[in-house]
A and B are shown apart, each in its own frame.
Chain A
Amino acid sequence: MTEKAIATLSKGGGPFVLMVEGASIDKQSHPNHAAGVIWDVIEFDKSIAVGRKFGASNSSAKNGQTLVLVTADHDQSMSIVGLSDVQNSRTVLNTRSISVYPLRNGNVFRAAYTNYATVAPSNAGNNTGEVSGFPDYVDGNGDGYPENTNRFRITVGFRTGNHTGSSVPITAEGPGAILFTGYQDQTDICWKMAKILSSNTAPLDELLKQTSKFSIVNQNY
């Protein structure tokens, strides 16, 4: 749907605004259906990939002229609270790297989504949480969705099955993206979009380019 929408709107090369909603994430959150929420997030992620691909496309006359914004209109009460161990289901493990996960078959830790190369354990038998690339699900059948048949599974907690007032993230990529950095009012987003559409963003984009040169070395904590 996203591909066809972009194909139609970009025909002739004129400017356009497309809004794509992952509407069922919320729909699955209301009954606290954790797996359904996550699967619809993956669906949404795929749509975002289509948008980013268009934005980055070298064959596109609009290369470098597409702003991709990803955000949410609200949070839901359900959140990931840890991991459950199928061999000891009464525990909820911390997802932070302090927890120690045992090694299985020598190559249990893999990256999600892709048929990622096996990550060699740096400390056999004592792989620690996210540093080693947990979670360990794989997409073995290549359908773009991870299988999760492993020992450790996501545990969620929820309260109301309803919307919350929590802050939601926003990511931005493309011209004027730096305007969406940091904490901001949700209602400012449309004014920022209008500003970007009506002005030259080159100075802003240069600023982002310069800032991105500052990198944190050995970010492993």
Chain B
Amino acid sequence: VILGGGVDQFNARTTNNSGDTRNLVDELIAAGFAYTSNRTALNALPGGAATPDKLFGLFRTSHMNVAYDKLGFTSPRPTNQHRPLADSTISRSSKR
């Protein structure tokens, strides 16, 4: 099982960066891995006896989204009433 980000390292390889121009996504699929590239496809994978034997999913070209962004939070804004000592306190009233 391989799940995460960094698809660029698999299918956008350059001689300069990776030393070769192989397409590892295609190679892994050819090697019998089930491939998913988004949450919907991952969740739609069959279960039980039809569960894939080998699974890899790459969901971002680089890093995965951090939770704070994924959940749609915005950075705290200081007010007169609440002046953070630094950009330091959790401050959030509602989820977008």
Contact = CB atoms under 8 A, between A and B. Distances in A.
A43 B67 CA distance: 7
A24 B67 CA distance: 8
A155 interface: yes
Contacts of B64: 23-24
A1 interface: yes
Contacts of A24: 63-67
Contacts of B42: 1, 4
Given A4-B45, A141-B95, A84 B55 contact: no
Interface in B53-75: 53-55, 57, 63-68, 71, 73, 75
Contacts of B88: 32, 34, 155-158
A204 B87 CA distance: 47
B83 A35 contact: no
Contacts of B54: 8
Contacts of B43: 4
A51 to B, nearest CB: 13
Q: Is the interface of A mostly helix, strand, loop or mixed?
A: mixed
Contact of B52 (A8, A38, A39, A42): A8
A8 B89 CA distance: 40
B89 A18 contact: no
A150 to B, nearest CB: 10
A133 interface: no
B16 interface: no
A153 interface: yes
A153 B68 contact: no
A42 B67 contact: yes
B81 A87 contact: yes
A contact residues, range: 35 or more
Given A8-B1, A42-B67, A154 B82 contact: no
Contacts of A158: 86, 88
Contact of A35 (B47, B85, B90, B95): B90
A35 B73 contact: yes
Given A11-B51, A18-B1, A153 B66 contact: no
Contacts of B67: 24, 36, 39-40, 42-43
Nearest to B74: A35
B55 A5 contact: yes
A40 B68 contact: yes
Nearest to B81: A86
A138 B61 CA distance: 35
Interface string A14-32: 0000100001100110001
Nearest to B76: A35
A18 B68 CA distance: 25
7 contacts: A1-B42, A8-B53, A34-B88, A35-B90, A39-B67, A84-B85, A156-B89
